[in-house]
């Protein structure tokens, strides 16, 4: 089936990951298009090997929260009790990826800061404690 490039959606990790993945799949087509003189001087936008590698690595970084989002958004599956453990697992996987891809450290750190903030906010929600059956925690909050 014919593929098209995807547009990014502001602050949506999954859309960015899917956009990068599609761009990587269409690399040859994009390079061919950008180098074709029939479309004007677009050759200045052809990515070099280092830029393609950076996109591949960033796609790998964003694949982690994307996979968890897919898992947690399955229909007909109660997932509230999975949110905090999932945040903790994303943090673990990203910290491991920081060691594997030191050149992505800054990007991963930005994601870690955001996910840790979400994690803290979620942990303070009484509905979460109630859904988890953590009545002691809920009593402490009240």
Measure CA of the first residue to CA of the last residue in the chain; give whole Å: 56
Candidates 81, 95, 87; CA nearest to 116 is: 87
Give the CA angle between residues 123, 126, 136 to the nearest 5°: 90
Q: Which residue has the higher pLDDT, 21 or 120?
A: 21
What is d(CA 58, CA 25) in angstroms, rounded to the nearest whole number?
14
Where is mean pLDDT largest: 31-35, 38-42, 114-118? 31-35
């Amino acid at each position: 089936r014919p593929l098209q490039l995807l547009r990014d959606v502001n602050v949506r990790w999954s859309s960015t990951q899917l956009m990068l993945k599609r761009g990587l799949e269409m690399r040859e087509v994009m390079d061919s298009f950008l180098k074709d003189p029939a479309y004007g001087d677009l050759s200045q936008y052809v990515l070099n090997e280092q830029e393609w590698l950076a996109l591949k690595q960033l796609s790998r970084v964003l694949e982690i929260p994307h996979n968890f989002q897919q898992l947690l958004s399955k229909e007909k599956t109660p997932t509230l009790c999975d949110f905090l453990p999932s945040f903790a697992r994303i943090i673990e996987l990203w910290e491991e990826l920081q060691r594997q891809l030191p050149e992505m450290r800054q990007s991963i750190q930005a994601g870690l800061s955001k996910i840790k903030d979400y994690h803290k906010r979620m942990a303070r929600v009484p509905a979460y404690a109630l859904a988890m059956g953590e009545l002691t925690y809920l009593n402490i909050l009240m």
